[in-house]
């Protein structure tokens, strides 16, 4: 007997697949990849990638993680884009997240210097 997908519970966010699809396409393009390159990485057809990005097909975890890796953003960026209730406690743009993850590679002293430079730069 095939299980029916359960309805989301009262505390579970409802995800808008079209918004997620739009974010996948937007960040793929920003990252400089074509649908063909994504398809090759996943070993799927370009038609499948096109149907994912248009919202015609549902996204699976493997595809989501591939986009996450290629675009250098956590999967949460795509999930947050699809939340209907805007329940994310703090929305971060993909650029914010890239900066945060990039800073993980620096020492505390280097981070202080970077912050100092940013404050100086902003004053100009």
At residue 60, the pLDDT reads: 87
pTM for the structure as a whole: 0.59
At residue 50, the pLDDT reads: 94
At residue 2, the pLDDT reads: 44
At residue 35, the pLDDT reads: 94
CB 48 within 8 A of CB 39: yes
Query: Which residue, 64, 83, 81, is CA-closest to 13?
Result: 83
At residue 124, the pLDDT reads: 67
At residue 1, the pLDDT reads: 47
- Residues of the chain where predicted confidence (pLDDT) is lower than 70: 1-13, 84-93, 124
Question: For residue 32, with 0-12 CB atoms within 10 Å meaning exposed, 13-18 middle and 19 or more buried, which class applies?
Answer: exposed
At residue 34, the pLDDT reads: 94
Taking domain 14-87, whether its CATH number is 1.10.260.40 is answered by yes
């Amino acid at each position: 007997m095939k299980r029916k997908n359960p309805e989301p519970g009262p505390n579970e966010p409802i995800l808008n697949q079209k918004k997620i699809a739009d974010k996948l396409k937007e960040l793929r393009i920003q990252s400089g990849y074509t649908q063909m390159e994504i398809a090759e990485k996943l070993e799927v057809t370009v038609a499948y990638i096109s149907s994912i990005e248009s919202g015609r097909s549902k996204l699976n975890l493997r595809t989501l993680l591939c986009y996450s890796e290629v675009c250098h953003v956590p999967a949460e960026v795509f999930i947050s884009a699809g939340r209907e209730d805007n329940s994310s406690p703090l929305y971060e743009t993909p650029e914010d997240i890239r900066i945060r993850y990039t800073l993980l590679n620096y020492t505390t002293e280097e981070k202080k210097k970077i912050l100092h430079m940013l404050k100086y730069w902003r004053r100009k």
